[in-house]
Copies of this chain bind each other. A is one copy, B any other.
């Protein structure tokens, strides 16, 4: 099944995102002579900004400079599934690559929506049936291998090369009953493994979870019981893309004689895509928020967006009051059918406490009854290592600690394994993974309408202003290079008054004026020198008065002789 080996080509693997972090997945595979390998790109994902490190940023994407430099070598792009950390960068980054984009049907539907929203050509999105269907791309032959995950039609990739077969698992779990989409099929995995697998590139997210993963089907009975016992309105949240869970929740609502409302644009769009692409076939009828308003509360179940505490999603809006005319009351039940992603605890906690103040009963995932993970746990990973029996293992989709633990697991099973982080290029053609290059990688930020580099200093300046506040000082210099009039200052993000009640801007202006009076002609004739003096004086005053060292912007204005 492996393609004929025509030369001593390299079989390269290069993660540009997702290896050494969870999020922003982007992997490159290639085969050919060193430096001339023909390439495919697997996933163009995003990760999300936060106030701590990326204030004001809208989205974070992998830096694809290396792909642009080698764009002529790229055969195609593959998207394994429609989670944002795999597909979220597609519409933003595609114009710089301009290649065909292969997806399975549901993912293609989402991809087209995203491309369309950004005014891109949707005809580049190509649907591909799943394995054994494969597409020939230069020396590579690539097929989608259906895997269960927490979104329909998630896929691994089978990549046949002259150096042997590579299996890239994508995000997956081994779920024989995933409610929607392809169940775990041992025959498929055996068929993929049968001709021998050169390298396994494998999801590492849950390598620290010691027990076997639970099936999506196990949450149904629990949720059904919970909803059927509820006395008033029931609201449930989960990831909008977890359509199986939406189905389970909606079915539980219907079973309890409730009308179901989907609140939140993302959720309705996902169901729409599911129906259009044929993965959703028996979703119960839903009613509008408007219809629900007039119904007895105990006859309604809301399924809403915002499981991660996102401020603008339906959950957060309900926690602050009304959303589309609906509001919660004492005795209602709110279910988080979801896990809180690390970093989101504070936002989720804020919502839970707001509901608590309303008297709403909140049920979260602490019991493990109402949510299961979409990723394979440690014993499942070990099972996959056995099933695929690869010559070598490269863990991906994990922080460094996950990759390291997963590589250990492989080594313990006698499989040569490598920790490969973003920017490390491996050759997988030999007996074990071999590092052959290091590529400059990093992060690009979508910031409003612009893409900015992570190291441009823009975000660094924002963080400094947030921590230190800012002083703005204006200086006027006349035609004769003399200071004209007094300096004037403004502050932002700083207290008005300092020690003993002194007005901070007055103190700054006085100190700057004294300094400028003493300044030599040479300094006054040089904008940068003046700025240096003013900055130093202004910061010193702030340090003395308020105990902070703010950022300083100096505007030097020179009058020109008329």
Q: Which residue numbers of A lie inside 8 Å of B, CB to CB?
A: 20, 50-52, 55-56, 208, 342-343, 345-346, 349, 352-354, 356-357, 359, 362, 366, 399-401, 403-404, 447-450, 452, 456, 458-459, 461-463, 465-470, 472, 474, 476, 484-485, 488, 490, 492-495, 497-499, 545-548, 551, 553, 555, 557, 559-560
CA distance A557 to B359 in the complex (A): 56
**A551 to chain B: closest residue by CB:** B492
Q: Does the CB pair A495–B452 fall under 8 Å? A: yes
**A492 to chain B: closest residue by CB:** B461
Q: Does the CB pair A463–B462 fall under 8 Å? A: no
B52, B359, B493, B499: the one contacting A459 at CB < 8 Å is B493
CA distance A53 to B497 in the complex (A): 22
CA distance A62 to B51 in the complex (A): 24
A399-B349, A466-B55, A495-B458 known; A450 vs B546 contact (CB < 8 Å): yes
Given the complex, which residues of B lie within 8 Å of A400, measured CB to CB? 353-354, 356-357
B352, B354, B470: the one contacting A465 at CB < 8 Å is B470
Q: Which 8 A-B residue pairs are closest in the complex by CB-CB distance?
A: A449-B547, A448-B547, A466-B466, A448-B548, A55-B466, A462-B493, A342-B345, A474-B555
Given the complex, which residues of B lie within 8 Å of A356, measured CB to CB? 399-401, 403-404
Interface centre among A403, A551, A555 (most CB of B within 10 A): A555
CA distance A492 to B464 in the complex (A): 10
CA distance A447 to B497 in the complex (A): 12
Given the complex, which residues of B lie within 8 Å of A447, measured CB to CB? 495, 546-548
Given the complex, which residues of B lie within 8 Å of A359, measured CB to CB? 404
Q: Does the CB pair B458–A493 fall under 8 Å? A: yes
Given the complex, which residues of B lie within 8 Å of A555, measured CB to CB? 472, 474, 488, 490, 555
Given the complex, which residues of B lie within 8 Å of A366, measured CB to CB? 208
Interface centre among A56, A447, A468, A485 (most CB of B within 10 A): A56
Given the complex, which residues of B lie within 8 Å of A55, measured CB to CB? 51, 463, 466-467
A450-B547, A465-B493, A546-B447 known; A346 vs B342 contact (CB < 8 Å): yes
New contact pairs (7) apart from A56-B493, A463-B466, CB-CB < 8 Å: A55-B467, A56-B469, A342-B345, A356-B400, A356-B403, A362-B401, A458-B495
Given the complex, which residues of B lie within 8 Å of A52, measured CB to CB? 50-52, 346
Min Cβ gap A125→B in Å is 26
CA distance A466 to B356 in the complex (A): 31
CA distance A557 to B447 in the complex (A): 33
Given the complex, which residues of B lie within 8 Å of A546, measured CB to CB? 447-450
Given the complex, which residues of B lie within 8 Å of A450, measured CB to CB? 495, 497-498, 546-547
19 example contacts (A-B, Cβ-Cβ < 8 A) are as follows A50-B51, A51-B466, A55-B463, A56-B468, A56-B469, A208-B366, A356-B400, A356-B401, A450-B498, A458-B494, A459-B493, A461-B492, A463-B466, A465-B466, A472-B553, A476-B476, A476-B559, A490-B555, A492-B553
Min Cβ gap A29→B in Å is 24
CA distance A488 to B545 in the complex (A): 30
Min Cβ gap A351→B in Å is 10
Given the complex, which residues of B lie within 8 Å of A343, measured CB to CB? 345-346
Q: Does the CB pair B449–A490 fall under 8 Å? A: no
Q: Does the CB pair B557–A485 fall under 8 Å? A: yes
Min Cβ gap A447→B in Å is 7
CA distance A357 to B405 in the complex (A): 11
B362, B404, B557: the one contacting A476 at CB < 8 Å is B557
CA distance A485 to B557 in the complex (A): 9
Min Cβ gap A338→B in Å is 16
Q: Does the CB pair B474–A492 fall under 8 Å? A: no
Given the complex, which residues of B lie within 8 Å of A20, measured CB to CB? 353
B462, B485, B498: the one contacting A560 at CB < 8 Å is B485
CA distance A403 to B356 in the complex (A): 9
Given the complex, which residues of B lie within 8 Å of A458, measured CB to CB? 469, 493-495
CA distance A55 to B465 in the complex (A): 9
Min Cβ gap A506→B in Å is 15
Given the complex, which residues of B lie within 8 Å of A495, measured CB to CB? 447, 450, 452, 456, 458
